Amino acid sequence: MADKPAPLPEVSALFDLSGRVALITGGGGLLGIKHAEAIAEAGGIPVLADIDAPRAEAACVFLRESLKAEAMAVRIDITDPRQVEAAVKDIDSRYGRVDILINNAAMTVKGGGSRYQKYFAPFEEYPVELWEEALRVNLTGTFLVTQAVGRVMLRRGKGVIVNIASDVGVISPDHRIYEGQSFNTPLAYAVSKAGIISFTRFLATYWAPKIRVNSLSPAGVYDGQDPAFVKRLSRLIPLGRMADRDEYKGAILYLASDASSFMTGANLIVDGGRTSW
């Protein structure tokens, strides 16, 4: 007969991350910094890993000054196995642990200059090199970081992993909303995010009961996009608007904390109801 579960602490204690170390890839980005805020506000120690070192360090300065939080910045290309191993080793040496991993980094392009000018090209003309680069960042990068951090977690016999997927990993993007826009959701992005959800389920069952692995699928975040695009997308969302960048902090805290202690292998969709139509 299975052991009877131990009684849980009070609700406030369930969300307490005091002293827990959280590695956040893409930590200097639009949502990465918000994930870090959620960790810091709950007492945790966010480690912001980003290929853009100045951006990660600036985010850490913000956390230290605004929240009086301990924070660490790490420059890392998540597609480079040596860099990943070295970064995780440095974090482990400094703190002796990694309690939480938030796989947030993904290939995103704004403006599509020079090298990425065809990132938003029609599928029929899509360059295979951009397809492969997106999969390398979004999937292989997540694989490499999770593998390295997983070893550290297994050594201690526990850990929590949150993989950032997307609503377009569950449903297809509505291509009509991009009419007249210079951007869209490329196939590689949608496919890789669907892969993240499968990756989550596999590892949840593989590493249970020691490491819990869940994914979060957010919808579009308002970031000053063209009003026509915002209007079209908002019509697809029952709540009638895009998300504010702060609105995923609660979900991140829930998934990263003991509040979700009986949850693994799940994909938490926070999309204003879009996938409910």
Residues with catalytic function: 189
Instruction: Calculate the alpha carbon distances from 245 to 33, 74, 105, 159 in Å.
Output: 10, 23, 16, 26
Residue 241 one-letter amino acid: R
Q: 3-class DSSP state for residue 105?
A: coil
C-beta of residue 179 within 8 angstroms of C-beta of residue 227:
no
Name every residue whose Cβ is closer than 8 Å to that of residue 28 and which is 6 or more positions away in sequence.
48, 50, 52, 55, 56, 58, 59, 73
* Sign of the CA dihedral running 33, 39, 45, 50: negative
Closest CA to 162 of 36, 252, 272, 277: 252
**Would the CA dihedral through 184, 189, 194, 197 be positive or negative?**
negative
Spatial CA neighbour of 226 closest among 188, 262, 266, 181: 181
CB 177 within 8 A of CB 244: no
Which amino acid type is present at position 118? K
The torsion angle over the Cα atoms of residues 203, 204, 208 and 211, rounded to 10 degrees, is 80
C-alpha count within 13 angstroms, C-beta hemisphere, residue 218: 22
